[in-house]
Structures are given as C-alpha cells and as structure tokens.
Amino acid sequence: MGLKAGIVGVTGYVGEELVRILCRHPEIEEIRVASRDFVGEALDRVFPHLRGHVDREIWGMEKLPDLAAWADVVFLALPHGVSAPVAREVLKRGKRVIDLAADFRLPDVKLYEEWYRVPHGAPELLKDAVYGLPELFRSSISAAQLVANPGCYPTSALLALAPLLKHGLVDRSTVIVDSKSGVSGAGRSPSLGCHFPECNENIRAYGVGVHRHTPEISYYAGVLSGGQVDVFFTPHLIPVTRGILSTVYARMERPMDDASLRRIYEEFYAGEAFVQVAVAGEWPETKWVLGTNRCFLGVTSGAERQAVVVSAIDNLVKGAAGQAVQNMNLMFGLPEVTGLTGPGLYP
Amino acid sequence: MGLKAGIVGVTGYVGEELVRILCRHPEIEEIRVASRDFVGEALDRVFPHLRGHVDREIWGMEKLPDLAAWADVVFLALPHGVSAPVAREVLKRGKRVIDLAADFRLPDVKLYEEWYRVPHGAPELLKDAVYGLPELFRSSISAAQLVANPGCYPTSALLALAPLLKHGLVDRSTVIVDSKSGVSGAGRSPSLGCHFPECNENIRAYGVGVHRHTPEISYYAGVLSGGQVDVFFTPHLIPVTRGILSTVYARMERPMDDASLRRIYEEFYAGEAFVQVAVAGEWPETKWVLGTNRCFLGVTSGAERQAVVVSAIDNLVKGAAGQAVQNMNLMFGLPEVTGLTGPGLYP
Amino acid sequence: MGLKAGIVGVTGYVGEELVRILCRHPEIEEIRVASRDFVGEALDRVFPHLRGHVDREIWGMEKLPDLAAWADVVFLALPHGVSAPVAREVLKRGKRVIDLAADFRLPDVKLYEEWYRVPHGAPELLKDAVYGLPELFRSSISAAQLVANPGCYPTSALLALAPLLKHGLVDRSTVIVDSKSGVSGAGRSPSLGCHFPECNENIRAYGVGVHRHTPEISYYAGVLSGGQVDVFFTPHLIPVTRGILSTVYARMERPMDDASLRRIYEEFYAGEAFVQVAVAGEWPETKWVLGTNRCFLGVTSGAERQAVVVSAIDNLVKGAAGQAVQNMNLMFGLPEVTGLTGPGLYP
Amino acid sequence: MGLKAGIVGVTGYVGEELVRILCRHPEIEEIRVASRDFVGEALDRVFPHLRGHVDREIWGMEKLPDLAAWADVVFLALPHGVSAPVAREVLKRGKRVIDLAADFRLPDVKLYEEWYRVPHGAPELLKDAVYGLPELFRSSISAAQLVANPGCYPTSALLALAPLLKHGLVDRSTVIVDSKSGVSGAGRSPSLGCHFPECNENIRAYGVGVHRHTPEISYYAGVLSGGQVDVFFTPHLIPVTRGILSTVYARMERPMDDASLRRIYEEFYAGEAFVQVAVAGEWPETKWVLGTNRCFLGVTSGAERQAVVVSAIDNLVKGAAGQAVQNMNLMFGLPEVTGLTGPGLYP
C-alpha cells in the first residue's frame, strides 16, 4: 500500500516499539521520526539494535509541520498533556492520528483534568476521538481520523472483563482489577523507582485505588455493561521488563461452572486473531505473549460465584504499539493482522 | 539458655534458613541436622556459604531417635505427609516440635486429607497442635509441645486480614487474597516451573482458587471473625527469590476513611515487634523485609467501602523459619525477638 | 521455494527456536516435528505461545524414517551422542542434515571421545561434515549434505577472534576467552544449577578450563590462524535467559591503536549481514541482539598491545537455531538472510 | 567500647550499608548521619526498612563540625572529589576518618588527577593515608588516622592476585582482570544505564581498559609484587543487585598443578576470617557471600601455565561498608571480626 508513517516521541520505549513493528510491516513504505530529546542524532546511535534496520535522523518538534505534511498517519508516543496540541497540528493537515497518550481516552474533559491535573490541550477534538480497542469497539475505528490508543492496564482489564459485562453476568459493584506490570510500562526516563537495584528482587503495589488508569477502566467497563461499574484497580510493579498480568475478580449474579464460563469467553472472542482463551488447566503467562500483539485469557468461576479472569499481554505491544498498528490497519482498510503475525520470543 | 536444636529436612531452603537464624541465636548452644538427602555429607559442602559458620554432618533419618533424645526442640522442615510421623517420634521422647509442614495446621483431619490427598500420619496429635502465628494466637503457643508453623501465604494474608475480621468491619463473603510470591517458596527441588528460563521475565498465576493454602486461610480467618469467611485465594509466581506481597480485598460494612482504617491497624498491632504499619503515602515493598521476620502492612479504604490491605513478608523468614524461631522463643520463655532483630538486606 | 523441514528434538529450547524462525520463513512450506519427550502431544500444548501459529503433533523417534522421507532438510536439536546415528538415518535417505549437537563439530573422533566421554555414533560421516559458521567458512557450506552447527560459545569466540588470527596479529599462546552466558544455554531440563533461586541474583564461573567447547574453539582458531592456538576458556552463568557476551583477550604482536584495529574488523566483516562492528565509544550489549541472528563486536587495542574484543550474540539464534537456518539458506541457494531479518526485541 | 560513629553520605547504598552493619555492631554506642540530600528528613522515611532500627534525622553538611566534634570515627560515603575536604575537616578535630571514596587510594596526586579529572581536594593528607585492605596491608591500618577504603573491584582483584604476586609466580606483564558486577556498585542515583529495563536481561562491558579502578589495581599489584605490573581490567555490568565476580588470568612462570596452587592460596590466607579458598571442584558464586564481608576464592593452574583465580565478594560489604568496619575494628583495637560475623543470606 505504501503508507508513510510518522512517529513522534520515538526515543521512548513505545516509540521504539512502533519502529520495530512498522519497519517489518509490509504496507509501510517509509518511516520518519521526531522527538523532544536526542534531536539531530541518528536513530541507530540512540538504539544501536536498530542499526542496519532503520536509518533515520531524529527530527525536532519544530519539523512537525513537515512530518504531518509528508505522512499518511502519525503516531504520537508522547506524555499526556503534550500529545493533544500535536494531534491538532496533524489533524489540521488532514492526516490521521493515533495517539498513544491519555489525552483522548476519556470522553469527558473534566474527568481528564481531575485525574491528570493538567488542562486539556485540545478539548474540541474529544468528540471525534475513537477509543482504539478493536476487539471491543472495532466498528468505529475504521472511519476515525483520531484514535485514542488504550492504556496498557485498561487493555488487559477490559479484554478480561468484556464477556462478563456484556452478558450481565456479574455484580457491577464488586469489580476488582489486580494488575502486575513489568517496568518498561513506566517509560525510559530514569527514576529511583525504576532504578535496577530498587526494582530487582522486589514486589510492590503503587497508586492503590488512585492510579490514572482507573477512570479509563471504569468508564469503558460502563460502556460495555450499559451502566455504572465500580472498579477498584491496584497496579503492582514486578521485576520483569515486559508484560502485564491482570487478575480480575467479580461476583457472579448466578452460579456457573468453569466450563460454561470458558465457553462464553471462547464464543465472545471466536474469530479474534489476537485473543486466545486458555484451555482448561492452563493459566496464562506473560511469557506466552512476549513481543506479540496477543492477549491470553484464563477463566474460572471459583466456587461457582466468583468469576476470576487472568489476562496476559505484552504492555509494549498489545498494551501500546502493537494495538496502535492494529488500529492503523483498520483505519486504512488493511487486514487487521498485517505486520503483527508470528509467534513471540520464548523463553 | 543453652538450647539444643535439631533440624530435620535441613537441605531445603527452609531448613537452611533455620540454620542461618539459629546459628546466630544467642540462646542456642548447638545445632544438629538431619535430612533424607545428602546423608553423611558435611553441611558446608551442600551449602558452601555456611562454611566456617556451622560444621555438621548431615544425619540420615535413621538417627532421628538420637536427635530427639539429644535435642530440646526439633524443627521439622519436611514435605507434608512426611512430617507427622516424625513429629510423633520426637514428642514421644518428651521434646518439643515445631513443624513447618502443613500436617498440623488444619485442625480437621478430613479437611487435611481432602486438600492434601494423603492420609494424615498422626491424627491423634491434631488436638494438641497449636497454630503458631504469634501476633494472632500468642497465648496458646507458650504452653505447646507441638506447634504447627503457618504457611507463608496464610501468614501474609491473616496478618493483613486480622484487624478487619476481629473488628467485624467487612463482609465475610467477599474476601479476596491476591498473593505474589518469589520462587523460593516452591522449595529447592528443581522443576520445569521453577527452571530459570521459564520463571525469569515471566508473571503467572497458578492454582487459582484451588491452592492448598486456601483452607488454612479460610479456617483461621473464620476463627478470627467468629464465623465462616469465604476467602478466594490466587497465588502468583514472580521472578524474585524471596518475598510475598499479598493484596487483600474486602467489602467494608460501613464507610471509613483511610486515616481511621490505618489507626485501627496501628492500634491492633501496637507493641508488636514484627509488624509495621506503613505511614500514609507508603506502600510496603518486599525489599523492606528481605531477610527479616517482619511484616509490613499498608492500608486504604478505597472509595470508603473497599478495604485494601497490602502485606509484605519474606516467605522464608516470617513465612517460615523466622516465625518458627519466634515460636520457639515463646515456647521456652525467651523474649520473643531473641535472635530475630536487626534490619534486613537492602537493596 | 517450498521447503519441507523436519525438526528432531523439538521440545528443547533450540528445537522450539527453530520452529519460531522457520514458521515465519518465506521459503518453508511445512514443518514437522519429532522428539523423545511429549510424544503424541500437540506442539501447542507443550508451548502454548505457539498456539495458532504451528499446529503439529509431536512424533516419536520411531517415525524418523517417515520424517526423513518427507523432508528436504532435517534439523537435529538433540543431545550429543544421540545425534550422530539419527543423522546417519536421514543422510541415508539422501536428505540434508543440520546437526545442532556437538557430534560433527570436531573433525577428530579421538578428540570428540576424549572431551565428550561417549563413543562417536557415526565416525564415518565426520569427513563429510562441514562446520557451519558461514562468516568464516562459507564456501564449503553450500555443497554440504551434513552441516555441524557450531556451539554457542565457539560462535561468539571465533567471530571475535577471526580477524586477529587471520591477520596474524596476536600471540597464539595467550588467547583467553571469558564468556558470560544466559541460562537457556543449559537447555530446558530442570537441574539444581538452573533452578531459579540458585541462578537469580548470582554470578558464577563453571567448567573453568575444562568446558567441552574448549577444543572446538581451539581447533577452529587453529584453522583460522594456520597453526596451533592455545585458548583458555572460562564460561560464566549469568541470570539472564538469553545472550552470550564473550570478552576475548590476546597479546598483540605489534602495537596498534584502536582506530586501526577497528578498521581491520570493519573490513573483515564488510558486507556481512549478521556481523556489526560497534562504533568508537560503543561496547556491545546482549540486549542489542536479543532474538536476532546478529553478532555485535566491539574492539580495543588496550595499551596498544592487548587486543580486547567483546562479542554479543543471542545464544539461541546466532548461537544455535538462527545460524542453522542461515546454513540452510546457503545449502539451498537462498539469500543468506532469508527469514532472519528485522530488528530484535528491545528493551 | 561505646564508639560514636558518624556517617556522611548516608543516603547512598554504601552509606545505608554502613548503618545496617553498625547498628548491630556491639561496640557502637550511637550513630549520627549526614548527607547532601534528604537533609532534615528522618532516616527511616528515606529507608523504610530501617524503621524501628535506627531513628535519626539526616543532618546537612553544615553540621559537619558538630558531627566531627561528637564522633570517634567518621565514615565518608561521598563521591570522589567531595570527600577529601570533608576528611580534612574531621581530621582537624583529631577524629579518625575512613574514606570510602577514591580520594586517598592512590598515593600520587598526579595519577589521581589524571584518572579522576578533578583537582585533588587535600593533597597534603595523601602521605598519611593508609590503604585499608586488611588481609594484605594490615599492619599499617591500626595506627592510621585516615584510611582509604579500597574500591570494590580492586578488593576482589587484589585478594585474587596477592598470592601469585607475592610469591612471584606469574609474568607481571600479562595480568588480566575480567570482573562482573551487580548494579548497586553504580550507586543509588538513577541513570539510563541502571534503569531496570536497560539492565535486566542484559550483559555488557563498559570502560574497557579505561575504568578508574585500573590504576588502583595496578598500583597495589605493583606493591605486592615489588615491581611494575601491567593489569588490563574489564568491568561488566550484570543484572544482579549485589556481587562482584572477578576472573583473574596470569601467565605462570613455571608449571604447577591445581593442588599445589590451591595449597599456596590456603597457606597465604590461613587464619584469615574473611577469605575462604574453595575446595577442589568448587567455583565461588556471589550468592555464597551475599550480605557478608567474605571473599571466596577458587583457583586452577589451567594447563599448568595459566593461573586462573575466581573471586566472589559482595560489593557493598567486603567491597565497601563491611571492609570499612573491618578497618574501624583494627583502628580501635577491636577483634577484627566484631560486628561482621554470621552467614549471609541464601538463596
């Protein structure tokens, strides 16, 4: 097809992962990259593993108009707050935007400002932004000019919850999402909390009940169920580089055995290329999805009344860059799996 | 005091940890060790890090009568099922036993046999066994001849739950324990699940709802609350060597703010040497308790109705060997902290 | 091209890695797999991450004749000693063999039996076996029926040493290879040495001076230099899953500055798709080659007389399965990089 | 004895480790702490694992005179360049100083300034500074007012090399030190190189031949051998928190078998509490010394001419804080092992 793709914010982990995926994507003709850091450097000096694969100079943000004019699609891998005005610039030139920040995920500007504590940079665009979780909201994505790529935790939580909520199987006031994430989810900027000696051989919870992905999970859980859902969300930091395992708990409205619950999941996700329901006796592991756009789900109904769903994703792929490319495929009428096939790295 | 301590099952991680703690214990005069493996070898050939510290031959199980005759107290770090008859042998000689297996934790032989799938090896002793979780059941321990040392997961879960249950603050039908454990909890015998390339860079759940520590948690939660408690327990395997972080969720009967809930915990554990309640804004990390007999607790009441308690322990110390020594101290009238003081290893 | 590939020993890490690479290889029409373990099981039950990618039953070794008859090429990912007779069976049917064990790496049966302590299973085939390190011995590979795929350590060491030896730059009596390897190099069978709690947070040397890859490195170093080379080889076990970093030391015959030495390396490997020489100021990291068939080299001449070369490979790819596919490409006249392109996983 | 100990630079890993060791030291009466960061905070808010163990406010550097006046001994855990003038202040008040920075390790101010690229802050003190590696230079330490605590790498390298050099067994022009270090050696300040996702699942060399510990190793190797020694030093970063494994290579002047070489090491270190020579067949692991002041050595003579010595230490203990306390014990006439006994943490 010969698409031209721009990546803004290329020097973070999500930006780099977009390069990794897009440089093998058969319909991408060329990639150009920009960033606020490392401006003017060659991409393969910042990321030597890309040497011989992608040979680009990193443009500064002042070249944004050129990038937008050139590109067919622009991916924004920027911090929240920074993203929105950049999106406006690109959309103005009639090019499509896939935003990997939080700026367009919540439809309500007040909710956004309450949780993110910054004024929204382009509130007028919110009404046109489409939430890019294809397995749950596929229809609206194809026509979108602006896709808000979901957060990593919400992706893992919503794919786990959707069948329960859509079928009205659970009490909407008792939903708990207990997530365990690798450290790459915190980005590439060094901090004490992500300093190797502090993370290694350590397990910790953080932002218990107050993490910014909470309203995103709750809001789309509500959309799926057709009513308000109370989600309590606890993220944990685990000493792995990649991977999110979410363990989701909800009270079932009526007793159900494991096999019946599993059947509901298998039917719900039948035909989905990127969602696998584990067979009886298996529980998903993040290693099963390493480097892939997959979500692996395991289910049990506990003592018949406690639905427990475990979901495993790679936070940088299905939780970010891979899902963004999946959205791009939909937006450009390509087969959804283009550039996203093949097994992951094991072990 | 000059106590003589025997350790049976010394070649596993719990047995070794008992040696590490007891060889610095000021009231221990001598340690002798036995095992089913490595019989006749020097302990410091199996564990070179003990060289120069503890110089013992590993006795075979046939020397059990000698060991029992010699010792004041015998620690059993054996697999469940193996432990019970050994305990009987030692008790017969009038010596005290601290059993670190599961054999004497559940008071009901049927419950034990249902979950552990082996006949109980000494059911007649169950009525005299005392559950050795000092902070919750201290009074009965001093007089005990046979202490059942709690499981690692139950220790972390029950310390987190006790104030809620004792004060009747939560709905007893919605208790969820989501635990994350290091790999040493699985013992020293190699297996595919604990093979480095399989564990490293991986997060997984296992035994969801069916782990053998489930009835132990439920039973003692019931004792604490004075009624039946439905606990759903999900353990996860995390690529660290030591540490358990348990995140406990329960529905509060009436709204309460964070500060009030924290105050309840601080009062409940006031004066406890080994339980620390984190201050506002802190969430416990397993690194804060590495190598120590401590439990660090963090609490929030969520949106006023969702009690969330995070507990961090070292699974081999407070979750096993350290708690066993704490029990020994109580049984012999020693200050409870003897041999268990000092900060842990950081980072 | 429509090649049919058989993989024997598919349930180990090297066998699985062959599947991962070959199932994306554009010239592979079909893969069939055999093993001594898990016979009759579906491959995706043993390796759930392959589900939806490769759907094969694992054949037992008794189906070897069928496999050989069907295949165009058979990869042997078997233990040393087991491999040789299987190779004979396949060659008998006129099919090409790429052996990833040690059986055909050393040209001298006595040397093999001295180091591997088993009788050689097919000594008559040694004269026709070709050592499959394409960058150094490419010419003979295309015509080979039987390729001995190099060991992981020798690959990393010989690529680092070749320019020095070919150009006669170093004293052949002082070559030291100090290698650091991830744990997957030890295979998928559980053992105490690879048990997570023993490997994690640990660094250790093993087989110092007596590791079985020593004669392989020495022999081919000798071939490259045209004379005997004394190599002292020390492997170390590092708590990573994948990756070998080898640090190679040799005494230079005459002073040389860094830039000159680097130029020699750049020229030596000019045009090689899989060897990258790091630019001045860079030192290779195993993370730069994760999941790829690349070798990254860094060089310095130290105080003008000490050549130090650091090489980084992924032990399962360039050190095993990837190099085997590179050899297959050569044997079948395909472009050498077919199925082996694209950047690796980072971070 | 009732010693008063001051620690300056307490908020780094070495400072904290000093607290951990000194707060259990039976002859330490009180500890006071200062730092350039976190001034005015409680020590147990910065390091929650110290809560209940050490309750101190962190003083700012302006309280240095008070600290010096109060203390019997002051430990400086400061960056190089910062340390020297602080040492002068303390010495002026007649108090003893143990400096854990590099400022007083090299006796020659020019050598220091060449490698550290800052002017020396107190060159007049160099002549009185004593290099605090007790096993090799014990006699001068007792009388010292100012001890320069060795670097972590030099400690591991010199203990490995000393018997070879003292006995004149090796060619002094071919000494290679290949070290593998955990990440805590880089300190507690976050940086990209120590960011978890960059370190984890990665092996890399750095500062090859140009690391600042090179002149320190070379100089004291020269002192031990009575002549110039050419040491080539390559450090590597390994994804563990603690531990250094150094593999040292030297060419033997005359053939020697393994047993003879081992005997030389055993005799050399006979009576040393903190140096263990591994028995035949054992190779030291960093896990054997975790949290201890020990150095474990393994030796082989290779093919009779290549001496290879592997040494394992905990970089924060024998490589820093533990050795500093060992020096303090000597300076105050205490038994050398005081406060440093007991086995380390395993696994």
Taking only the tens place, the pLDDT of each residue in D281-307 is 999 999 999 999 999 999 999 877 899
| Residue where the block lists tokens 């440093």 | D340
Residues facing residue C236 across a β-bridge: C180, C205
Asked if C343 lies within 8 A of A54 by C-beta distance, the reply is: yes
Q: Which two tokens stand for residue A181?
A: 């994430």
Residue pair D240/D315 in contact by the 8 Å Cβ criterion: no
Q: For residue range A186-241, what is the model confidence (pLDDT) as tens digits? A: 999 999 999 999 999 999 999 999 999 999 999 999 999 999 999 999 999 999 99
Closest CA to D33 of D49, D17, D48: D17
**Is the pLDDT score of A315 beyond 90?**
yes
**Last residue within a domain, chosen from C65, C95, C128:** C128
Same domain, D192 and D302: yes
Q: What percent of chain A has pLDDT over 70?
A: 100
- In sequence order, which residues have a C-beta less than 8 Å from that of residue D241 and are 6 or more positions away? A196, A197, A200, A201, B347, C201, D182, D183, D184
Count C/D contacts: CB-CB distance under 8 Å.
149
Count B/C contacts: CB-CB distance under 8 Å.
56
Same domain, C178 and C293: yes
Asked if A241 lies within 8 A of D191 by C-beta distance, the reply is: no
Strands of B275-277's sheet in order across: B204-205, B231-237, B175-181, B244-251, B306-313, B295-300, B275-277
Backbone φ/ψ region at D168: left (φ over 0), alpha (ψ -120 to 50), beta: left
Backbone φ/ψ region at B40: left (φ over 0), alpha (ψ -120 to 50), beta: left
Considering only CB atoms, D24 lies closest to which of B49, B279, B342, namely: B342
Asked if A197 lies within 8 A of D239 by C-beta distance, the reply is: no
Alpha helices in chain B (DSSP H): 13-22, 43-46, 64-70, 83-92, 109-116, 134-141, 152-166, 196-199, 213-225, 258-268, 322-331
Same domain, C93 and C172: no
Q: Which two tokens stand for residue A163?
A: 């069948």
Q: For residue range B35-52, what is the model confidence (pLDDT) as tens digits? A: 999 999 999 999 999 999
CA atoms in the 13 A half-sphere facing the CB of A172: 19
User: How is chain B split among helix, strand and coil, in percent rounded to 5?
Assistant: 35, 20, 40
Q: Which residues of A touch D (CB under 8 A)?
A: 13, 182-184, 188, 190-192, 194-197, 199-201, 239-241
Active site residues of D: 152
- The residue type of B344 is G
Same domain, B21 and B113: yes
Asked if A196 lies within 8 A of D194 by C-beta distance, the reply is: yes
- Quote the CA–CA distance of B77 and B66 in Å, as a whole number: 18
Considering only CB atoms, C342 lies closest to which of A16, A51, A53, namely: A53
DSSP for C106-124 reads SS-HHHHHHHH-S--S-GG
Same domain, D165 and D292: yes
The Cβ of residue A228 has, within 10 Å, a number of other Cβ atoms equal to: 12
Distance from CA of A243 to the nearest CA of D (A): 12
Considering only CB atoms, C195 lies closest to which of B190, B201, B240, namely: B190
Measure the CA angle with vertex C332, ends C327 and C334; round to 5°. Answer: 85
pLDDT of B303 reads: 73
Q: Which residues of C touch D314 (CB under 8 A)?
A: none
Domain membership flag for residue B140: no
Tell me which chain B residue has its CA closest to the CA of residue C242: B197
Residue pair B34/B52 in contact by the 8 Å Cβ criterion: no
Same domain, A274 and A170: yes
Considering only CB atoms, B201 lies closest to which of D24, D47, D201, namely: D201
**Is the pLDDT score of C317 beyond 90?**
yes
Q: Which two tokens stand for residue A33?
A: 């990259």
Q: Name which of D177, D201, D214 to mutate to probe chain C: the one with the most chain C Cβ atoms within 10 A of its Cβ.
A: D201
Domain membership flag for residue B135: no
Tell me which chain C residue has its CA closest to the CA of residue B197: C241
When pLDDT is averaged across residues C293-310 and rounded to a whole number, the result is 93
Backbone φ/ψ region at A232: left (φ over 0), alpha (ψ -120 to 50), beta: beta
Distance from CA of D277 to the nearest CA of C (A): 15
Distance from CA of A305 to the nearest CA of B (A): 10
Domain membership flag for residue B341: no
Distance from CA of C191 to the nearest CA of B (A): 5
DSSP conformation class of C183: G
Domain residues for B193?
A: 153-315
pLDDT band for position A61 (cuts 50, 70, 90): very high
Tell me which chain C residue has its CA closest to the CA of residue A185: C347
Domain membership flag for residue A324: no
Residue pair C132/C98 in contact by the 8 Å Cβ criterion: yes
- The residue type of C173 is S
Same domain, C120 and C173: no
Q: Which residues of B touch C188 (CB under 8 A)?
A: 192, 195, 197
How many residues are listed for chain D in this entry? 347
Domain membership flag for residue B326: no
Q: Name which of C16, C37, C183, C196 to mutate to probe chain B: the one with the most chain B Cβ atoms within 10 A of its Cβ.
A: C196
State in Å, rounded, how far the first CA of chain C is from the last one. 34
- Quote the CA–CA distance of C324 and D238 in Å, as a whole number: 29
Q: How many structural domains are present in chain B?
A: 2
Active site residues of A: 152
Phi and psi, residue C97, nearest 5°: -125, 135
What are the start-end ranges of the E strands in chain D?
3-8, 28-34, 58-59, 73-76, 96-99, 130-131, 146-148, 175-181, 204-205, 231-237, 244-251, 275-277, 295-300, 306-313
Closest CA to A4 of A124, A90, A120, A130: A90
Residues of chain B with pLDDT under 70: none
Q: Which residues of B touch D290 (CB under 8 A)?
A: 49, 345
- Quote the CA–CA distance of D33 and B114 in Å, as a whole number: 56
Q: Which residues of B touch D47 (CB under 8 A)?
A: 346
- Identify the CATH number of the domain in which residue C167 sits: 3.30.360.10
Distance from CA of B227 to the nearest CA of D (A): 35
- Quote the CA–CA distance of B132 and B148 in Å, as a whole number: 6
Give the distance, in angstroms, between the CA of residue C265 and the centroid of all CA atoms in the same chain. 21
The Cβ of residue B234 has, within 10 Å, a number of other Cβ atoms equal to: 26
- Quote the CA–CA distance of A320 and D170 in Å, as a whole number: 57
**Last residue within a domain, chosen from C95, C128, C161:** C128
Asked if D204 lies within 8 A of C286 by C-beta distance, the reply is: yes
Domain membership flag for residue B99: yes
Q: Which residues of B touch D288 (CB under 8 A)?
A: 48-49
- Quote the CA–CA distance of B88 and D173 in Å, as a whole number: 66
Q: Which residues of C touch B286 (CB under 8 A)?
A: none
Chains that touch A (3 or more CB pairs under 8 A): B, C, D
Measure the CA angle with vertex C337, ends C331 and C343; round to 5°. Answer: 150
Considering only CB atoms, C51 lies closest to which of A16, A48, A276, namely: A276
- Quote the CA–CA distance of C14 and C12 in Å, as a whole number: 6
Q: Which residues of A touch D190 (CB under 8 A)?
A: 190-192, 194-195
- Quote the CA–CA distance of C341 and C338 in Å, as a whole number: 7
Domain membership flag for residue A337: no
- Quote the CA–CA distance of A326 and C51 in Å, as a whole number: 20
Element (H, E) at D198: helix D196-199
pLDDT of D302 reads: 85
Strands of C3-8's sheet in order across: C58-59, C28-34, C3-8, C73-76, C96-99, C146-148, C130-131
- Identify the CATH number of the domain in which residue B82 sits: 3.40.50.720
Asked if B343 lies within 8 A of D50 by C-beta distance, the reply is: yes
Same domain, C227 and C284: yes
Domain membership flag for residue C18: yes
When pLDDT is averaged across residues D313-323 and rounded to a whole number, the result is 98
Q: Which residues of A touch B300 (CB under 8 A)?
A: 208-209
Same domain, B170 and B274: yes
Distance from CA of A198 to the nearest CA of D (A): 8
Same domain, C202 and C113: no
Same domain, C41 and C8: yes
Q: For residue range C222-265, what is the model confidence (pLDDT) as tens digits? A: 999 999 999 999 999 999 999 999 999 999 999 999 999 999 99
ipTM over 0.95: yes
Q: Which two tokens stand for residue B145?
A: 């001849």
| Residue where the block lists tokens 């007040």 | A110
pLDDT band for position A303 (cuts 50, 70, 90): confident
Closest CA to A146 of A89, A90, A98, A86: A98
Residue pair B16/B35 in contact by the 8 Å Cβ criterion: no
**Last residue within a domain, chosen from A128, A163, A183:** A128
Asked if C238 lies within 8 A of D238 by C-beta distance, the reply is: yes
Q: Which residues of B touch C195 (CB under 8 A)?
A: 188, 190, 194-196
pLDDT band for position C302 (cuts 50, 70, 90): confident
Asked if B188 lies within 8 A of C192 by C-beta distance, the reply is: yes
When pLDDT is averaged across residues C137-161 and rounded to a whole number, the result is 97
Tell me which chain B residue has its CA closest to the CA of residue C192: B190
Tell me which chain B residue has its CA closest to the CA of residue D49: B288
Q: Which two tokens stand for residue A285?
A: 């592991």
DSSP for B31-93 reads EEEE-SSSTTSBHHHH-GGGTTT---BEEPGGGHHHHHHH-SEEEE---TTTHHHHHHHHHHT
For residue A52, with 0-12 CB atoms within 10 Å meaning exposed, 13-18 middle and 19 or more buried, which class applies? middle
Over chain C, what is the mean pLDDT? 97
When pLDDT is averaged across residues D27-56 and rounded to a whole number, the result is 97
Considering only CB atoms, B203 lies closest to which of A180, A197, A204, namely: A180
DSSP H helix total and E strand total for chain D: 11, 14
Q: Name which of D181, D202, D256 to mutate to probe chain C: the one with the most chain C Cβ atoms within 10 A of its Cβ.
A: D202
**Is the pLDDT score of C78 beyond 80?**
yes
- The residue type of B190 is P
Q: Which residues of B touch A241 (CB under 8 A)?
A: 201
- The residue type of C77 is A
Q: Which two tokens stand for residue A161?
A: 């919850």
Same domain, C254 and C167: yes
Phi and psi, residue D244, nearest 5°: -130, 130
pLDDT of B59 reads: 98
Give the range among B303-307, C171-175, D133-137, D316-320 with minimum mean pLDDT: B303-307
